[in-house]
Amino acid sequence: MSAPKLLAISGSLRAGSYNRKLLAQAVDAFGEAEVMQADLNLPLYDGDLEDAEGIPEAVQVLADQVAAADAIVIASPEYNKGIPGVLKNALDWVSRVPGAVLADKPTVVISAAAGRTGGETAQFMVMHCLAQLQVRLIPGPQVLVAAAQNAFDDEGRLVEERNAKAVAGRMKKLRAEVT
């Protein structure tokens, strides 16, 4: 059997993003997979742009990745107690692509943030939006990496064992959905 396809989505565009580090650890914990990295550097959703030019190429690439994926993991920061604009923008665009590509996709949402709640409010907002898109949200140990600036070592791995365990446990559950 071929390896499952895992789509990794970072809600932060920043190269040094803690959520990118968290995502990398989650991808490792998932095990052997064909990994696709999403690029959320998309135009802002604009109904006039959509009417004039249709779905932008970069959005179609993302929608095709979603359609091809057996499972999705999203790592998101929290901005002002909410979902980052780039992630919401991406979800809005993908929802405009015919075929409801996100529906029934086994998906895990995790977060790292500077604050002491580890992005919990944003994480719930992301899941709230995904529920509207009929994503299959996989529950499990919550991954809320607080004080993200202190949470990773020089190799980009989680320092605290309870965080690493939560990531491993959650990704094991995601894997069980696709194998």
Would you give the distance in Å from CA 125 to the centre of its chain?
A: 13
Tokens of 86: 């780039």
Considering only 7, 19, 144, 174, the residue that binds ligand FMN (CB under 6 A) is 19
58-77: contacts with ligand FMN (CB under 6 A): 77
Q: Is residue 89 a contact residue for ligand FMN (CB under 6 A)?
A: no
145 binding ligand FMN? (CB under 6 A): no
Residue of closest CB approach to ligand FMN: 115
51/116 with CB nearer ligand FMN: 116
Closer Cβ to ligand FMN, 41 or 80, answer by number: 80
Site size for ligand FMN, by CB under 6 A? 16
CB of 78 to ligand FMN, least distance (A): 4
Q: Is position 113 an interface residue for ligand FMN (rule: CB under 6 A)?
A: yes
Residue 105, C-beta contacts closer than 8 angstroms, at least 6 positions apart: 66, 69, 71, 72, 135, 136
Q: How large is the C-alpha radius of gyration of the chain?
A: 16
Q: Tell me the closest approach of the beta carbon of residue 173 to ligand FMN, in angstroms.
A: 23
Q: Which of 114, 127, 129, 178 binds ligand FMN (CB under 6 A)?
A: 114
Say if residue 164 is exposed, middle or buried (CB neighbours under 10 Å; 0-12, 13-18, 19+).
middle
Per CB under 6 A, contacts with ligand FMN among 22-61 are: none
End-to-end CA distance of the chain: 10
Binding site for ligand FMN (CB under 6 A): 12, 14, 17-19, 77-81, 112-115, 119, 148
